[in-house]
Amino acid sequence: MKRIILILNILSVCYLINAQALEKTYGNKFFSLNYPDNWEIVQEDNRATSNVNISVQVMEKKVNNVDFLPNVNIIKSAQKRTETTSYLATMTLNQIKNMLPNMRIKGTNDITISGCKGTVAEYECTYNGYSLHFYQYIIKKADNNTFTITCTIDNNKLKSQKRIIDAIVASLKIK
């Protein structure tokens, strides 16, 4: 029994050492999230298109003119969607495939974030010379308010950047 407790303590310490520290917090009346000190808010309540308003976009701070900057953006839908999140994910993937013909769909899965059920779509593409990997989470509250969380990372740094975006997404609290 003592061995098991010792092993669990060692694993906990290793996890904390490898965990990404999320020192900063962003919040509005719909949600809040935490993000690392070396990231920044680059958009807040900006209209992307006539129908899409980006609630927030957080991005790693620029360190050079070469590296792709991983980012997370959250869109709260203006309307309450009645379609399932899996349908919305499939519809979104089809729209993206039309815009980015070299997009490769990796798959979709059911997820739960901040107590809200949803679907995550994973896909890759090459854009502006970067090999990119996307995770797009579509979640709905019980009242059908819908949130789309899009995470974009450099495919060449998938493992390290995925840990960071996973931590950011896990910190999301839907109000």
Average pLDDT over residues 68-90: 92
What does the DSSP 8-state code read for residue 155?
A: G
pLDDT of residue 81: 83
What is the rounded average pLDDT for all residues in the chain?
87
When computed from its CA atoms, the radius of gyration of the chain, rounded to whole angstroms, is 17
Paired sense of beta strands 71-76 and 146-154, if any:
antiparallel
pLDDT above 90 (res 80): no
pLDDT of residue 79: 80
pLDDT of residue 62: 94
pLDDT above 60 (res 17): no
Cite the beta strand spans of 28-78 per DSSP E.
31-35, 39-47, 53-60, 71-76
Q: Please, are residues 79 and 90 in contact by the beta-carbon 8 Å criterion?
A: no
pLDDT of residue 50: 52
For residue 17, give the H/E element and its range.
Answer: helix 2-18
pLDDT of residue 5: 45
Residues of the chain above pLDDT 90, percent: 75
- Confidence band, pLDDT 50/70/90 cuts, at residue 44: confident
34 class by beta-carbon count within 10 Å (0-12 exposed, 13-18 middle, 19+ buried): buried
- Confidence band, pLDDT 50/70/90 cuts, at residue 47: low
Residue 137 CA to residue 100 CA, distance in Å, equals: 19
Buried b (16+ CB within 10 A) or exposed e, 139-175: bbbeeebbbbbbbbbbeeeeeebeebbebbbebbebe
pLDDT of residue 101: 85
The SS3 assignment for 65 reads: coil
pLDDT of residue 19: 52
Average pLDDT over residues 93-114: 94
pTM of the model: 0.84
Residues of the chain above pLDDT 70, percent: 83
Tokens of 96: 């993206």
